[in-house]
C-alpha cells in the first residue's frame, strides 16, 4: 500500500491504458476482456469493472457472444484523458476552497487560493487537450513487455 494520496487513482490510470490499447485497434478491433486484462496486466475483475463504466458513458462499446468483446466507441483522436477520468468518477481538486470558497474567509485576497485555482485550471486544460491517440499501445509492444515482466519473476 502506497503512503501517498494519488491525484490520479490507479483505476483511472488503468482506464486510460485500456482506452489507449483499444485505440490502437480502432475502428474494428473488438477485444475480449480476457485479452485486454492479460495484455495490460490488469486483473480480469478490474478490467471488467472499468469497461462497464466506460461503456455506460459511451467511450467503449461491447459486443456479446462468442466473438464479442469491447472496443472504443469513438475515434481515439476525440477522446481526451479528461473524458476518461470523468467517466471513471474523477472529481479531485487541489484544495477544498476551490470547490467551496465559503469555507475560508480569506478566499477573496488569498494568494494560496489563487495559486491552487490556477494550477487546477492548468491541469484540467491539459487533461482536456491530451487525447488517447497520442498514447496508443501496440499489441506487439505489450506482449514484449509482458514477457519481460514475467521473466523477472
* Fold entry, domain 10-91+131-142: Arc Repressor Mutant, subunit A (1.10.10)
Q: Using pLDDT thresholds of 50, 70 and 90, give the confidence band for residue 1.
A: low
The end-to-end CA distance of the chain, in Å, is 20
Q: Looking at residue 77, what is its pLDDT?
A: 97
Tell me how far the alpha carbon of residue 137 is from its chain's centroid.
14
pTM of this structure:
0.86
Instruction: Collect all residues with Cβ–Cβ distance below 8 Å to 136 and sequence separation of at least 6.
Output: 20, 21, 23, 24, 76
Amino acid at each position: 500500500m502506497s503512503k501517498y494520496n494519488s491525484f490520479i487513482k490507479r483505476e483511472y490510470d488503468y482506464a486510460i491504458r485500456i482506452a489507449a490499447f483499444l485505440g490502437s485497434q480502432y475502428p474494428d478491433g473488438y477485444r475480449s476482456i480476457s485479452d485486454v486484462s492479460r495484455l495490460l496486466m490488469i486483473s480480469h475483475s478490474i478490467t471488467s469493472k472499468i469497461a462497464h463504466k466506460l461503456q455506460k458513458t459511451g467511450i467503449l462499446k461491447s459486443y456479446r457472444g462468442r466473438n464479442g468483446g469491447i472496443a472504443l466507441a469513438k475515434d481515439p483522436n476525440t477522446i481526451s484523458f479528461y473524458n476518461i477520468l470523468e467517466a471513471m468518477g474523477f472529481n479531485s481538486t487541489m484544495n477544498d476552497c476551490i470547490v467551496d470558497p465559503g469555507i475560508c474567509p480569506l478566499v477573496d485576497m488569498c494568494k494560496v487560493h489563487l495559486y491552487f485555482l490556477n494550477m487546477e485550471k492548468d491541469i484540467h486544460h491539459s487533461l482536456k487537450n491530451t487525447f488517447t491517440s497520442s498514447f496508443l499501445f501496440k499489441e506487439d509492444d505489450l506482449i514484449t513487455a509482458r514477457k519481460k515482466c514475467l521473466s523477472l519473476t
